[in-house]
């Protein structure tokens, strides 16, 4: 019997060959030989070694065993939180110096570009979970500075659920899949989460944020980022200033609506990852402003809250933001695992001129991240992985361990020593120094009195929102609590809301069908009135642009090519990416007989993937689509998700079938300018006509 062999059509161009501890990629050109990890060339990568053509496989097949063994070990433990993420390389550029406050070069050398690797994540779901659950987004930036790596490991929300690190495992166990049943994946809408929250009044401020549309971002390039905790900047004379770090997206803030986020999860599980991949590939690099809030100990002492409490923010109206730089993400990783998966952030990674505050949540984090990397990456040498290694020289006497990649020379591995003139030494002048801070008080497991106010900032957040955003918060609470089986948990949560806003509590109680408003629990501190802070809104921070947005044009046979071209031109000029959607990916034959290829087949390209849609149909095309559920859903969902719709006569016929009403967001396809203007926003006034919010 002749040997069955399937020739490999494209032998890998980029396999690795090992030489003395270094890995080399064969770049382009002629294909190199496919080898084992020992460098032995393979003659056959299609068939394992058998005793006869139909006989058992031989144990001696070292090629098969090596390949399968390596494959069996391809996965490493995923992150216990923030497992699902998108990462990209880029740079940070300082635009204003903080030399008055810090010695850190990254914050004093204006115009210098520092490489960064940024990882944007969801929190609760596993690595394979969808991109668009209602969830906080992690915002982790590794700055490869000249003075060592600085990791700013933040979130897209400026406050957190808990005040003390010792509560973190409980919080995460409560939000994760319930342990007996293994669901729900990546969702807060279940009993254990709300049980824990209802018994943890300090989480109420964060609850307002997570029930807002901040947890349903339209794009990762449209989220804010926050360092959350107060840090210190340390100046030349050793003086220190408190600082909060902020990232502000160049494209403005934008979120989806809940029903849209749910449908996106079905249409494209990788919605955010793909969006950033496409943006970087197209040269539309995601960009953020970097800003700081600086304040002194004296100012902090006068705040009506404790800045060391991570459930509190400092309103911009109290301490304005100073923009000091920008970050641009301009390079997709070469390899997802090597970079996005293996990158290891740690809030303890700081550089001279920056220091920690006593925030008890931050203090716990300083321990946790290194510990988790040891278990996740399996070796104390994970800092040698390229994405983790500093880009400045680093040298010490740490040695050996699993997966040691370095080959240090010489007999000296200690300090001080008299045997080596070149081994690294401590450098008192430029080395890292902690801020000299006096500590007083009694030791104990004590929560500071100044951490007792759990409701004032929750109220501040809620009252700072527009009426549309308030309605979304109320509706989200009703949705989530309706998924909770235990009535006492629903009631306990509604009781807390009474401290935040009586009207909110009433709306939620009504949405849950509660007969009476539950009693509010005792509050540990009185609720203070604070001046509303419009900076906490999303709607107020949407930018008047279509950059980073997508427009979908639905066509069918007989569509007017000129109308399609006019909309495409206007949308592209406004910065949007334009996609043609048709029944078949091959496209449709336009009125002039030309075939216009589609970017997406209608069944797989629903309108949830776009920010606004145009429907350009001939009478015949409209007739065809009237009986296509995907076409009817296309316009009905666009309408329900408050998007602008441009339609010509045929398009209007489809709108009618879909029972789509007429309003300011439904424009004539011939008026491209009106369409672009409407596409730049959501049609908030339409919402009461499409859904009952709480």
**Which CB, 184 or 360, lies closer to ligand HDE?**
360
For residue 178, count CB atoms less than 10 angstroms from its CB and return exposed for 0-12, middle for 13-18, buried for 19 or more: middle
**Which CB, 130 or 361, lies closer to ligand HDE?**
361
Q: Does 175 bind ligand HDE (CB under 6 A)?
A: no
Task: Tell me how far, at minimum, the Cβ of 295 lies from ligand HDE, in Å.
Answer: 19
Tokens read off for 178? 């319930």
Q: Does 138 bind ligand HDE (CB under 6 A)?
A: yes
Residue 140, beta-bridge partner list: 119, 153
- Taking CB under 6 A as the criterion, the residue among 94, 204, 222, 228 binding ligand HDE is 228
**Which CB, 81 or 669, lies closer to ligand HDE?**
81
d(CA 509, CA 278): 43
Residues numbered 24-83 forming contacts with ligand HDE, rule: CB under 6 A = 79-82
Tokens read off for 433? 């120094």
Per the CB < 8 A criterion, the answer to whether 640 and 693 are in contact is: no
Question: Are β-strands 240-249 and 231-234 bridged in parallel, bridged antiparallel, or unpaired?
Answer: antiparallel
d(CA 192, CA 482): 13
**Which CB, 140 or 667, lies closer to ligand HDE?**
140
d(CA 65, CA 71): 10
d(CA 368, CA 498): 36
Task: Tell me how far, at minimum, the Cβ of 649 lies from ligand HDE, in Å.
Answer: 50
Task: Tell me how far, at minimum, the Cβ of 326 lies from ligand HDE, in Å.
Answer: 20
**Which CB, 381 or 423, lies closer to ligand HDE?**
381
Q: Dihedral of CA 451/454/455/457: which sign?
A: positive
**Which CB, 140 or 257, lies closer to ligand HDE?**
140
- Taking CB under 6 A as the criterion, the residue among 98, 104, 106, 140 binding ligand HDE is 140
Task: Tell me how far, at minimum, the Cβ of 388 lies from ligand HDE, in Å.
Answer: 11
**Which CB, 114 or 342, lies closer to ligand HDE?**
342
CA angle 358–364–368, rounded 5-degree value: 145
Per the CB < 8 A criterion, the answer to whether 223 and 275 are in contact is: no
CA-to-CA separations, 370 to 45, 169, 383, in angstroms, rounded: 40, 16, 10
**Which CB, 216 or 539, lies closer to ligand HDE?**
216
Q: Does 318 bind ligand HDE (CB under 6 A)?
A: no
Catalytic residue (choose from 82, 101, 272, 641): 82
* HEC string for 544-589: CCCCCCEEEEECCCCCCHHHHHHHHHHHHHCCCEEEEEECCCCCEE
Q: Taking CB positions, which residue lies at the least distance from ligand HDE?
A: 138
Task: Tell me how far, at minimum, the Cβ of 423 lies from ligand HDE, in Å.
Answer: 32
Residue 669's nearest CA partner among 579, 556, 553, 507 is 553
Per the CB < 8 A criterion, the answer to whether 527 and 456 are in contact is: yes
Catalytic residue (choose from 149, 155, 381, 388): 155
Residue 45 CB neighbours (<10 A): 14
Phi and psi of 470, rounded to 5°? Answer: -60, -40
Task: Tell me how far, at minimum, the Cβ of 179 lies from ligand HDE, in Å.
Answer: 18
Q: Does 85 bind ligand HDE (CB under 6 A)?
A: yes
Query: Any catalytic annotation for residue 82?
Result: yes
- Taking CB under 6 A as the criterion, the residue among 124, 130, 153, 294 binding ligand HDE is 153
Which residues have a Cβ under 8 Å from the Cβ of 396 and sit 6 or more positions away?
424
What is the four-CA torsion angle of 450, 451, 454, 456, rounded to 10 degrees?
Answer: 40
Which range in 154-162, 270-278, 281-289, 665-673 contacts ligand HDE by CB under 6 A? Answer: 154-162
d(CA 200, CA 193): 11
- Taking CB under 6 A as the criterion, the residue among 369, 432, 479, 684 binding ligand HDE is 369
Residue 93's nearest CA partner among 401, 324, 381 is 324
Q: Does 155 bind ligand HDE (CB under 6 A)?
A: yes
Q: Does 361 bind ligand HDE (CB under 6 A)?
A: yes
**Which CB, 376 or 433, lies closer to ligand HDE?**
376
Task: Tell me how far, at minimum, the Cβ of 499 lies from ligand HDE, in Å.
Answer: 23
Query: Any catalytic annotation for residue 155?
Result: yes
Q: Does 385 bind ligand HDE (CB under 6 A)?
A: no
- Taking CB under 6 A as the criterion, the residue among 107, 165, 458, 553 binding ligand HDE is 165
- Taking CB under 6 A as the criterion, the residue among 115, 126, 352, 364 binding ligand HDE is 364
Q: Does 243 bind ligand HDE (CB under 6 A)?
A: no
Which range in 153-161, 393-401, 521-529, 673-681 contacts ligand HDE by CB under 6 A? Answer: 153-161
**Which CB, 160 or 455, lies closer to ligand HDE?**
160
Residue carrying the six token digits 């040691």: 404
Judged by CB under 6 A, how many residues of this single chain contact ligand HDE? 25
Which residues have a Cβ under 8 Å from the Cβ of 526 and sit 6 or more positions away?
453
Residue 294's nearest CA partner among 254, 323, 274 is 323
Q: Does 168 bind ligand HDE (CB under 6 A)?
A: yes
For residue 135, count CB atoms less than 10 angstroms from its CB and return exposed for 0-12, middle for 13-18, buried for 19 or more: buried
Task: Tell me how far, at minimum, the Cβ of 156 lies from ligand HDE, in Å.
Answer: 9
Residues numbered 105-134 forming contacts with ligand HDE, rule: CB under 6 A = 119, 121
- Taking CB under 6 A as the criterion, the residue among 91, 196, 245, 345 binding ligand HDE is 345
Residues numbered 298-317 forming contacts with ligand HDE, rule: CB under 6 A = 310
- Taking CB under 6 A as the criterion, the residue among 368, 384, 601, 681 binding ligand HDE is 368
Per the CB < 8 A criterion, the answer to whether 694 and 507 are in contact is: yes
Residues forming the active site: 82, 155
Binding site for ligand HDE (CB under 6 A): 79-82, 85, 119, 121, 138, 140, 153-155, 160, 165, 168, 228, 310, 345, 361, 364-365, 368-369, 372-373
């Amino acid at each position: 019997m002749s040997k069955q062999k399937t020739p490999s059509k494209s032998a890998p161009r980029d396999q690795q060959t090992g030489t003395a501890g270094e890995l080399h990629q064969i770049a382009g050109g002629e294909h190199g030989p496919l080898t084992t990890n020992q460098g032995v060339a393979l003659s056959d990568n299609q068939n394992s070694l058998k005793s006869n053509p139909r006989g058992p496989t031989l144990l001696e097949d070292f090629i098969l065993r090596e390949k399968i063994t390596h494959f069996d070990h391809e996965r490493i433990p995923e992150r216990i939180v923030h497992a699902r993420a998108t990462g990209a390389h880029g740079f940070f550029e300082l635009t204003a110096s903080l030399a008055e406050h810090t010695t850190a070069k990254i914050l004093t050398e204006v115009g210098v570009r520092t490489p960064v690797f940024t990882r944007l994540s969801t929190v609760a779901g596993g690595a394979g979970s969808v991109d668009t659950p209602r969830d906080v987004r992690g915002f982790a930036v590794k700055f490869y500075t000249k003075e060592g790596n600085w990791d700013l490991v933040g979130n897209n929300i400026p406050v957190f659920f808990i005040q003390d690190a010792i509560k973190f495992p409980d919080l995460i166990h409560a939000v994760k899949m319930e342990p007996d049943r293994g669901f729900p994946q990546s969702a807060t809408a279940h009993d254990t989460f709300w049980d824990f929250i209802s018994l943890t009044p300090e989480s109420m401020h964060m609850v307002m944020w997570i029930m807002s549309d901040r947890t349903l971002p339209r794009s990762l390039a449209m989220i804010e980022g926050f360092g959350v905790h107060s840090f210190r900047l340390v100046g030349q004379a050793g003086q220190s200033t408190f600082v909060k770090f902020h990232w502000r997206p160049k494209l403005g803030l934008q979120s989806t609506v809940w029903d849209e986020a749910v449908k996106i999860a079905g249409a494209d599980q990788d919605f955010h990852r793909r969006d950033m991949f496409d943006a970087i590939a197209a040269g539309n690099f995601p960009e953020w402003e970097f800003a700081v809030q600086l304040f002194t100990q004296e100012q902090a002492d006068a705040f009506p809250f404790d800045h060391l409490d991570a459930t509190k923010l400092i309103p911009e109206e109290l301490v304005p933001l100073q923009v000091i730089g920008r970050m641009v993400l301009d390079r997709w990783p070469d390899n997802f695992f090597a970079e996005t998966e293996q990158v290891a952030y740690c809030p303890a990674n700081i550089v001279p001129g920056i220091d920690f505050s006593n925030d008890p949540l931050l203090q716990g984090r300083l321990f946790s991240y290194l510990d988790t990397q040891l278990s996740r990456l399996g070796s104390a040498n994970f800092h040698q992985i390229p994405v983790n290694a500093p880009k400045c020289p680093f040298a010490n006497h740490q040695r050996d361990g699993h997966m040691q990649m370095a080959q240090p020379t010489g007999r000296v591995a200690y300090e001080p020593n008299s045997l080596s003139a070149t081994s690294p030494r401590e450098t008192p002048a430029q080395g890292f120094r902690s801020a000299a801070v006096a500590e007083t008080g009694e030791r104990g497991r004590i929560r500071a009195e100044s951490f007792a106010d759990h409701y004032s900032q929750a109220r501040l957040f809620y009252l700072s929102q527009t009426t549309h955003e308030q309605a979304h918060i109320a509706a989200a609470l009703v949705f989530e609590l309706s998924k909770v089986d235990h009535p006492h948990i629903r009631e306990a949560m509604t009781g807390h809301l009474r401290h935040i806003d009586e009207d909110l509590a009433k709306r939620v109680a009504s949405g849950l069908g509660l007969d009476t408003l539950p009693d509010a629990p005792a509050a540990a501190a009185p609720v203070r009135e604070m001046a509303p802070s419009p900076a906490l809104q999303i709607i107020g921070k949407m930018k008047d642009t279509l950059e980073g947005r997508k427009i979908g044009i639905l066509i069918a046979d007989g569509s007017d090519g000129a109308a399609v071209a006019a909309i495409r031109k206007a949308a592209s000029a406004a910065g949007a990416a334009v996609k043609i959607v048709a029944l078949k990916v091959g496209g449709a034959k336009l009125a002039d007989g030309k075939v216009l290829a589609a970017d997406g087949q209608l069944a797989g390209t629903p309108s949830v993937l776009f920010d606004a849609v145009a429907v350009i149909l001939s009478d015949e095309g409209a007739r065809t689509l009237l009986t296509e559920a995907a076409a009817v859903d296309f316009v009905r969902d666009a309408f329900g998700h408050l998007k602008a719709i441009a339609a010509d006569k045929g398009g209007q016929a489809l709108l009618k079938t879909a029972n789509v009403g007429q309003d300011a967001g439904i424009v004539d396809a011939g008026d491209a300018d009106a369409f672009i203007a409407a596409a730049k926003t959501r049609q908030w006034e339409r919402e009461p006509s499409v859904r009952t919010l709480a």
